[in-house]
Structure 1
Amino acid sequence: MDEIDLKIIELLQQNAKMSMKELASIIHLSPPAATERVRKLEDQQIIENYQAQLNLKKIGRTIEAIILFKSIDCKALAKFCEEHPAVISCYRVAGEISYIAHVATDSVESLEQFIDASMVYGTPSTNIVLSSVTEQIILPLK
């Protein structure tokens, strides 16, 4: 990867809907050359996916929590989290706890239902999210 590739990645992290024409203009390449650069970054799996970032509150997911698990069945807990619609992300970690799940629900009651359902896989420790410091992670590459 060279400086142009790094700039492309930076720009697409900020706005993945940017047109190839706009991207090409910023990085001073022709649109076909910029498109080819992006395609190569995708082929190398440096860029893996493009996603819409949703406003959780506007889609009714007003309760967010970070749940730490001391699991008794790691594979079953991982499967539970993969399949549960409230789970935004789940990480296997080393240390006293084995998983960290970020969940978003429409009510305290549905959060409680999630916690109750998860307890067969281990001991959860729930932390309610009060506010978010970052809404989008843009990885600086320099």
Structure 2
Amino acid sequence: MDQVDKKIVRELQLNAKISMKELAEVVHLSSPAVTERVRKLEEQQIIEGYHAHVALKKMNRPMCAIILFESKDCKALANFCHNHPDVLECYRVAGEISYIIKIATHSVESLEQFIDASMQYGTPSTNIVLSSHKKKIIDPFLAEEQ
């Protein structure tokens, strides 16, 4: 990735709906040149997709929680999470715990129902999210020159 590609990726992270014409103006290239660079970034899977970021509160999911699991059956827990509508993210991790699950739900009662339903797969430890910050821009990691 050269500096132009980095700027393209940065701009698309800020606004995935930007037109190729507008993006071309920002990076000082022609529209066809920018379109070709974006296509190559997609082919290289640097750009994996374009997403709508939704307001969880407005989707009637104001309660977020991070649940740590010591799982008895990792595959069954993963399947349960994959099929549960409240699960936003599910990570299998190494260490004392085997899974980290992020859910967004509508009430303390529905959080309790999720915990009760998931206990057959292991021991949960629930952390209610009070506030959060998510990076909107991910810059490429640059290895230090030796």
With the length of structure 2 as denominator, give the TM-score of the two structures: 0.93
| Residue matched to 2:48 | 48
Instruction: Give the deviation of 1:136 after TM superposition.
Output: 4.2
Report % sequence identity.
68
**Aligned partner of residue 36 in structure 1, secondary structure:** helix
Tell me how far apart the structure 1 counterparts of residues 57 and 134 of structure 2 sit (CA, whole Å). Answer: 12
Tell me how far apart the structure 2 counterparts of residues 8 and 112 of structure 1 sit (CA, whole Å). Answer: 44
Post-superposition Cα deviations, 1:42-85, rounded to whole Å, max 9, x if no partner, equal 01111111111111011100111000000000011111111111
**Aligned partner of residue 64 in structure 1, secondary structure:** strand
Q: Which runs of 5+ in 2 are unaligned?
A: none
Instruction: Give the deviation of 1:18 after TM superposition.
Output: 0.9
Structure 1 stretches of 4+ with a deviation exceeding 6 A read none
Q: Which runs of 5+ in 1 are unaligned?
A: none
With the length of structure 1 as denominator, give the TM-score of the two structures: 0.95
**TM-align CA RMSD:** 1.0
Post-superposition Cα deviations, 1:3-47, rounded to whole Å, max 9, x if no partner, equal 111111111111111111110001011111101100111011111
Tell me how far apart the structure 2 counterparts of residues 67 and 50 of structure 1 sit (CA, whole Å). Answer: 27
Q: How many residues align?
A: 141
